[in-house]
Structure 1
Amino acid sequence: MMSGRRRRKDDEKPFYAVPLTDKPTPSQIINEARQSVRTIRTNRPFTPREGERRLFGTDSGRPKEARPPSAFSLGSRHFDGSDSRPTSSTKLSPLDHKPKPVPDDVLPLVPKPPAIDLARPLAGRSVARRMVKAGSQDNLADRDLRQAVLTDGKVPKPPVERRGSLPPAPSPVEGDVPGRRVHSGPKERTPASFYIERTEAEGAEAPPRVRSAGSARSRRRAGDEEAGGDGRTGRESGYHSQPSSAERKETRSGSGGRRDDETPEEALFWNTSVLPILTDMESHSKDKKHRTLCDLCDRLYTTLDTAGLLGRAAKRRSALLKTLYKLIDIDDPRIMLKLARLILALKVSGKNLTNVCKLVFKISKEEKNDNLFLESNILGLLVSVVQTADPNQSCEALVYCCGALKFLSGNAALMKELSAMNCTEALGKLLSSVNSTNADSSRPNDQAGHLLVQVTAVLRNMADSSGNRDKFLTQGVVRELLSVIGCYYGDSDLMLNCSRIHSKLTLSTDCCVVMSQDKTCFKNYLRLLQKYQKKEDLVVRVLFILGNLSAKSEDARLALFHQHGCMETLLGVLRTFLDLDIKAASEDGKVVDGEGKTGPSKTEDVMIKLIRVIANMSIHPDVGAAIAENNKLVDLLLQILGNKSIARCEELVLNVVATINNLSYYPSKNSAIEQKQVQIAERMLSMLMADNMEGIVEASRVYGNLTRSAEVRDYLGRKKVDAIMVTLLDSGSREVVFTSCGVLINLMVDEKRRPTLKEEGGVKKLVDVLRDFGRTDWELASMVCQTLWNYSEKITSSIDCFGEEETNQLIELLLEFLEEDVVLGVPEASDWDREMREYMQSVWRGRFCPVATQLLDRVDSHHTDLEPLEPPSDS
């Protein structure tokens, strides 16, 4: 068996970077590079919660006079009753007809005012008073007429018209009750309320007939009130002889009695089911029984909902809304929210929609009111506003609606409810609508920018839930946010919100893939870095996003690096914040390392995130080789190591060292790393001496790459680094032992460094590592074999080279570990699954077996149990 494993000595050669196999394939080279260069992880930037709920944050870049206010006065007087009328669903097109100009010599016909019955028992003063009261609605000719009446109590004859006279006023109708006002309403008293009607029967010469516009409806209404609309009495049809105050208001508003489009059954339901609730609400509004009023609001909502009377097409919507508007002045958040629920359910629009959204916003500003939003379907109504309102017509209303959702979505329970109501989908459609409008215009709309700040703030909260993150992808929200960045890159508030959302979403690989495939992604974010270079809270998030994208995809690393101005922008930001950090340190004075420090400063955090981007990009072989040639970058990294210690700035220093490790993997004659390799090796010494195991590992990795240079090996030999690496073999940490072996592999190439290994007990320690870690870590076992192979290059006797005990143990272990039955079994106290077993078998066959077999052949061929012969004596 031993002879089968022997190889010719001519084939033996030391292990360098290139393995002992035939020409490696590209996949093997890439895999080897990925084991030597690594991505860097970091924490997501912390976002402190604002103490006060405001529409825009205290650090907003918007001038106060140009943005919607967070504080405002709001009462019943701000609501408009005209909006309570349902609008027609049919939009009429404008007429093309243009009226012909009237010649100056032709005066328009002025309708004659109604005749005054002088036989009425009304004093002249009363007549005059009534006519003066109506004076604001009359024309100039009518003012002259009233002045004549006031002067002598007589009615003058009307002047002769140029184109004929109006017909004389009709005589009083027989049977009229004396003193009854035939023309008593304001419309009837106003000349503008008359119109001239000609019929074909009257012919062209017939004088026009003047009729009140409301007279026919008034007569119909009077008949309906008397007969109930179908011949029944008022009481039988549901009408009372003594109407309530709410009913009288309805009547005065033009909707009293039974409407023309209302059936008797609908009128009966209104007066028996709805009107009593409204009357009770009005009566209880004057006392302090708020609980009763809340119950009445719920009863009214249920009654209207059951009868299908919610929405814009509801009958008697005008009187209903006017009653609700009057109650808005009650200063109780629960009642105001109940009223807002009813108003929103009635689908108001325009000014009233804005005001009711302001009302909800006002209530949501107080965190103690959050639980009120769980009591009814008010959240669903707010989401409905987002879904249905036109951002072009109702932008201000949507600002306050989304502002309220921003506050409410910060509550975990409310956010869960909003997620179930498809709030994310609604906001995504709103984003798409605004982006479409901006795409069709020459410049973005500033008012839409105010709205997008609130929309993105809600999405920022919704992104905290892992269940919502898939919706950001399926609804296209991720791409819509990139469009917002491209359009509103000058809006710092909006850019901060977008970056906060993406910083959360890019923790998901799927999101990173979608963003990396968008051609505008890296361009937009590099533009933000250029524009807001000193805005720390925005810059740190943009860098965190770019770090996440470059950590997940080779294509993303290449695309980011080749983006115009990428490295110049990154190095400019690094230079800026390094200068700010040095200035801050000089102003604060000398600070003892590790004292009074709980985490990185803001400037340090920016540098941490930025260096991570460079380290992740350098994983790509072409990108890494190109970045390694950048002298400015290497100088900045060395400057950071000179100013920072691992004890005080652990994450920053570790990121810098990891970046140097990645860049030092790519050997090149133009590499700035190789040009400054001794200086870098000197910086790493302090890392080995620090009481930080992670720092020791990172520094060892850098030495593992730099020790390919004889100049660095000599420097480390003078600084006793080889002895330090041997000492680290006793560490129980797998990573420390692994990186120490990596350094020793290269140090053992130099013959003058080999005696140190044996003198420090390194051979015995390597054999112990092989025994302790071999079965569970074939990659580390392979590193041990490579170290011993390079160490034994000039071997003449295994015992002399390794020692007798170490030689026997090494042969025994290698024979055992090269048996296939060993690798097929699962070690005790391990929970390997099938995938893990397959991986370990692959590493055993590909990495351990080739070098272990050659080492066993070398040790066995130079090992013998015979005593060496004594040299012959001269005699």
Structure 2
Amino acid sequence: LVEACSELDSGADARQSETDGLELRSLLDSLIGASSRLKGTASVRRPRPDEDSNDSEHDVVLEESSHTANCEEATLACVFNLLDRIKARLKNTNFVVKDTNLYKDIVSTLLSLAACRRCPRLRLKVADLGISLRVKGANLIRVCKLIYRVSKEPENDELFIEDKSFSHHICGVLGDLNLFTGETRPLSPLIDVTRGQLSTALESLLYVCGALKFLAASSVTGSTFRTPSMLQALSSIHTTLESFSHDLDKRCAVETGGGFDVIAENIYYVLLQITEIFCVIASSNFNEDWKSLVVDSGVIKCVLRGLSQHNPQSPSPSIRNEVCLNWARVLAHATEHAFICSYLTEDALTDYCRDFVRLILLRSDEPDFVIRLAYALGNIAARCNDARSSIFSSRQVLKDICQLCQRYSIELRRNALSEGYFFPCFVLLK
């Protein structure tokens, strides 16, 4: 009886899958037809304001143009409806895995549709559907690029909150792009095997994180995209990529005599976007969610780990220095809050303080970095006894700091008449 019931269920599932596939094929055919009409309206000639013509001809052209615009609007509405119906059908079926040809046809049609119109709503709907289809490789890069292009324009912000599930879809993409999670840590022998896959993931991440940077900073979309789950996903990727970059740096030091690998450079471009988002979060107005976004999500731990493990003496392209500066910016903003300083006392604070002093001494010629890290150290020291003792952990450190202050004082006097030269003054103040 159990076997019979199982066979009946299996047969019913097969029939349902076939029905879903037929319905999706029908919707796709309709979408292809609507896309053709949309491409047709794009090629219709529009009148130019400076164009010479008699009144009757001009009226005819205007009438045709108006008719074309109305047709285009109606066709776009039809396309939007079809995209929504396809998405709804995909949500309730697992046919895609079984019907490879239909899957390829849908993806191809979507990307062609996005290319034929620079309509932000259309591009965002196409991208969302592409995410639902879990596109991979070059297609995923195209989808992520669409999201980035739409997010760059502030007037498009409202589009990102029309569909409440879109931010969850972006979180899912971040999870898929975190190639090395859990115990699958990226080791050097793995680099060659997965280089193509890693390049695709990094380019996709660059566009997604670039879009999130705009969306997190927007007053319209900020509350939707500044969520604990989003920050946890970004923190996880940050930790993974930063760890991977250390492995690559070691390999480059051995194999290229200190050269900088292209993959390593791309990793730092992604880290730059992620740390820009961290800066937005850390500098945002303090509210009841701030702690969950900055502390519980792992952002502060990412920043502390990045600064303490940073090696200023390794080959340092400007992109890497910008990432390090962002870490210092996050810490400077975060330590303005007393509870952050209390939190830090529970997490190897004295070691971190010694590392920060070391970085200030080694990067004393970088004003933006020194000012922010010195500001963070001042905030911590003002609230924590242990921090005060660990900042000057030895006579030698105290001597080095005093010598640095003397150097800044000399520079300040030497350049006192130079307009706009305030760096030594600000550093000495901190």
* TM-score, normalised with respect to structure 2: 0.70
> Is 1:525 the counterpart of 2:381 in the alignment?
no
Q: Which one of 80, 88, 105 corresponds to residue 305 of structure 1?
A: 88
Aligned twin of 1:449: 268
Deviation at 1:486, TM superposition (A): 3.5
Q: Which one of 330, 348, 363 corresponds to residue 135 of structure 2?
A: 348
Aligned twin of 1:475: 297
Deviation at 1:278, TM superposition (A): 3.7
CA gap 1:266/1:470 in 2 versus in 1, 3 angstroms: closer
Larger Rg computed on CA atoms? 1
Q: Which one of 420, 425, 429 corresponds to residue 604 of structure 1?
A: 425
Q: Which one of 65, 87, 103 corresponds to residue 317 of structure 1?
A: 103
Aligned twin of 2:63: none
Deviation at 1:545, TM superposition (A): 0.4
Aligned twin of 2:337: 508
Q: What residue identity is the alignment partner of 1:430? A: I
Counterpart CA distance in 1 for 2:266 and 2:418 is 43
Report the number of matched residues.
Answer: 341
Q: How does 1:98-497 map to 2 (within 5 A)?
A: 263-287=17-41, 289-290=72-73, 292-293=75-76, 296-308=79-91, 313=97, 315=99, 316-329=102-115, 330-376=117-163, 377-391=165-179, 393=198, 394-420=201-227, 422-437=229-244, 443=250, 445-463=264-282, 464-466=284-286, 467-490=289-312, 491-497=320-326
CA contact (8 A) 2:216 2:225 kept: yes
Counterpart CA distance in 2 for 1:281 and 1:298 is 13
Q: What residue identity is the alignment partner of 1:561? A: F
Q: Give me the identity figure in percent.
A: 21
Q: Which one of 370, 389, 408 corresponds to residue 577 of structure 1?
A: 408
CA contact (8 A) 1:294 1:338 kept: no
Counterpart CA distance in 2 for 1:427 and 1:401 is 11
CA gap 1:532/1:277 in 2 versus in 1, 3 angstroms: same
CA contact (8 A) 2:353 2:391 kept: yes
Structure 1 residue runs of 5 or longer lacking an equivalent are 1-259, 589-596, 610-875
Residues 150-181 of structure 1: CA deviation (Å, up to 9, x unaligned)? xxxxxxxxxxxxxxxxxxxxxxxxxxxxxxxx
Deviation at 1:472, TM superposition (A): 2.6
Q: What residue identity is the alignment partner of 1:605? A: F
Aligned twin of 2:389: 558
Q: What residue identity is the alignment partner of 2:290? A: N
Higher relative contact order (CA 8 A, sep 6+): 1
CA gap 1:406/1:486 in 2 versus in 1, 3 angstroms: same
Counterpart CA distance in 2 for 1:603 and 1:338 is 52
Q: How does 1:472-871 map to 2 (within 5 A)?
A: 472-490=294-312, 491-516=320-345, 517-518=347-348, 520-562=351-393, 565-588=396-419, 601-609=422-430
Deviation at 1:424, TM superposition (A): 1.3
CA contact (8 A) 2:278 2:299 kept: no
CA contact (8 A) 1:428 1:476 kept: yes
Q: What residue identity is the alignment partner of 1:461? A: V
Q: What residue identity is the alignment partner of 1:308? A: K
CA contact (8 A) 1:406 1:457 kept: yes
CA gap 1:538/1:421 in 2 versus in 1, 3 angstroms: closer
CA contact (8 A) 1:427 1:459 kept: no
Counterpart CA distance in 2 for 1:396 and 1:274 is 29
CA gap 1:294/1:480 in 2 versus in 1, 3 angstroms: farther
Q: What residue identity is the alignment partner of 1:548? A: N
CA contact (8 A) 1:391 1:434 kept: no
Deviation at 1:385, TM superposition (A): 1.5
- Aligned to 1:537, the other structure's residue is in SS state helix
Deviation at 1:321, TM superposition (A): 0.6
Residues 128-160 of structure 1: CA deviation (Å, up to 9, x unaligned)? xxxxxxxxxxxxxxxxxxxxxxxxxxxxxxxxx
Deviation at 1:441, TM superposition (A): 6.2
CA contact (8 A) 1:343 1:356 kept: yes
Deviation at 1:298, TM superposition (A): 4.8
Counterpart CA distance in 2 for 1:294 and 1:535 is 54
- Aligned to 1:296, the other structure's residue is in SS state helix
Deviation at 1:544, TM superposition (A): 0.6
CA contact (8 A) 1:340 1:359 kept: yes
- Aligned to 1:534, the other structure's residue is in SS state coil
* TM-score, normalised with respect to structure 1: 0.36
CA contact (8 A) 1:479 1:515 kept: no
Structure 2 residue runs of 5 or longer lacking an equivalent are 1-13, 43-71, 181-197, 252-263, 313-319
Q: What residue identity is the alignment partner of 1:604? A: C
Aligned twin of 1:70: none
- Aligned to 2:417, the other structure's residue is in SS state helix
Counterpart CA distance in 1 for 2:93 and 2:373 is 47
CA contact (8 A) 1:515 1:521 kept: no
CA contact (8 A) 1:310 1:346 kept: no
Deviation at 1:306, TM superposition (A): 4.1
User: Aligned-residue CA RMSD in angstroms?
Assistant: 3.1
Deviation at 1:557, TM superposition (A): 0.8
Counterpart CA distance in 2 for 1:462 and 1:379 is 16
Q: What residue identity is the alignment partner of 2:300? A: V
Counterpart CA distance in 2 for 1:264 and 1:492 is 56
CA gap 1:300/1:395 in 2 versus in 1, 3 angstroms: same
Residues 357-405 of structure 1: CA deviation (Å, up to 9, x unaligned)? 1222222223333233222344332232222213563112111211111
Counterpart CA distance in 2 for 1:564 and 1:317 is 68
CA contact (8 A) 1:363 1:369 kept: yes
CA gap 1:489/1:508 in 2 versus in 1, 3 angstroms: farther
CA contact (8 A) 2:202 2:267 kept: yes
